[in-house]
Structure 1
């Protein structure tokens, strides 16, 4: 047996070394403790009400003492229910997780659409508001024969519509480029946060003018959504700590 083989055997022995101190086993080479602490697999939920129902009628004894539970609003689309710190590793058990369903369609911001598609999505994917209705009324007047002439000074968007070959003025007016709307973007059980959105039109000859909305609040709505989700639980569940 040559020296290389001896070194390999010694290395294998070293890598498999285990020590026990005060009932805890440690394994080489880094002497990490060998711990087996099983944790439950958290329930997967899709609604905030589902988590409320789980806690109002707990099916496991671990959920009966609310003072030991913690609700963490991770984001506008994720909530987690934890237990208290436990075990040698001082970890929290994850009892349940609520995730906003991927099946919900959201408004396609930053994409130009023809008037009909824009109106359908504006009507179906936003909470009714005064600005939504004004935007629907304005865009419903656009047709394939319209030529859109617009100007924007940052405060209002001046719009003129000219009809057909004659170029006769159909109508003119102004529409503010920034609108306050409430798109469906977080859990449906809470009041959707209102956002400042930028409305834009783009025209090509012989085609229906295309329309788009651009987010213009720097993502502030996400912070507001998290706060509203936290308030949802605080109003419905006594004795449970809620953090966001």
Structure 2
């Protein structure tokens, strides 16, 4: 009996996969050899991504464009036999930094508003208020919890209480520069020392608008390929 059992175990040890009670078991570690995938190209503009697709440089066949978020777009292949995809190219938007929910001194805030926000009516109003702050009087800020008033210059030598506008509709650079930057509401707050901050107040709805803008841009630029069922866009 023992001899038969030893012989059975010996036979099992020579097998990589065995069947026991109708189930398959591996007798050792098995490593799958997968189809190779490419190292994706990374660009920082939608134009670069469009040029690549139009060139058909890699002869990639049917592809899927996935607008992942307002700053990321990926071009993917169909799944292969290992259920993996080639990621042919990825576009990553270069977005200037602005720390929302953090206070800046008035000079830095002024510069950031001019350099990282699209010019519109509310931006110019905020710039006017911030640029004319009388810092020595900022401690007289009035605040009812919703709106604020500050001492600011309203003429050549005149100082008066100026109401801080709230909410303000602004368009920071938050997605690819080739598309329209979505406007959204922000709460503008000021505190002692003339410090200013912007707090997002749209619940993140701007992201959906930005992604839609990116998808619409790509569809317009690649319409011929879309019509030929070579490219599909999702966001």
CA shift, 1:86, in A, is: 2.7
Give unpaired runs (5+ residues) of structure 1: 1-5, 20-25, 163-168
Are the aligned partners of 2:133 and 2:150 in contact in 1 as well (CA < 8 Å)? no
Q: TM-score, normalised by structure 1?
A: 0.76
Aligned to 2:54: 56
CA shift, 1:105, in A, is: 2.7
Counting only pairs closer than 5 Å after superposition, residues 36-51 of structure 1 correspond to structure 2 as 36-51=34-49
Are the aligned partners of 1:71 and 1:243 in contact in 2 as well (CA < 8 Å)? yes
C-alpha distance in 1 between matches for 2:28 and 2:142: 69
CA shift, 1:58, in A, is: 1.8
C-alpha distance in 1 between matches for 2:93 and 2:146: 36
C-alpha distance in 1 between matches for 2:169 and 2:28: 58
Aligned to 2:3: none
Q: CA RMSD in A?
A: 2.9
Q: Secondary structure at the match of 1:118?
A: helix
Change (3 A) 1:86 1:214: same
Work out whether 1:216 is the aligned partner of 2:201.
yes
Work out whether 1:137 is the aligned partner of 2:128.
yes
Give unpaired runs (5+ residues) of structure 2: 1-5, 19-23
Are the aligned partners of 1:149 and 1:161 in contact in 2 as well (CA < 8 Å)? no
Q: TM-score, normalised by structure 2?
A: 0.79
Work out whether 1:17 is the aligned partner of 2:16.
yes
1:143-197 residue CA offsets vs partner (Å, 9 max, x unmatched): 33323423344654333459xxxxxx82123232210000111111111111111
Work out whether 1:171 is the aligned partner of 2:197.
no
Change (3 A) 1:109 1:18: same
C-alpha distance in 2 between matches for 1:191 and 1:29: 59
Change (3 A) 1:230 1:150: same
Match of 1:183 among 169, 172, 188: 172
CA shift, 1:213, in A, is: 0.9
Match of 1:83 among 73, 77, 81: 77
- Mean Cα deviation higher: 120-129 or 209-218: 209-218
Are the aligned partners of 1:197 and 1:215 in contact in 2 as well (CA < 8 Å)? yes
After TM superposition, where is structure 1 displaced by more than 4 Å over at least 4 residues in a row? 29-33
Larger strand fraction of residues: 1
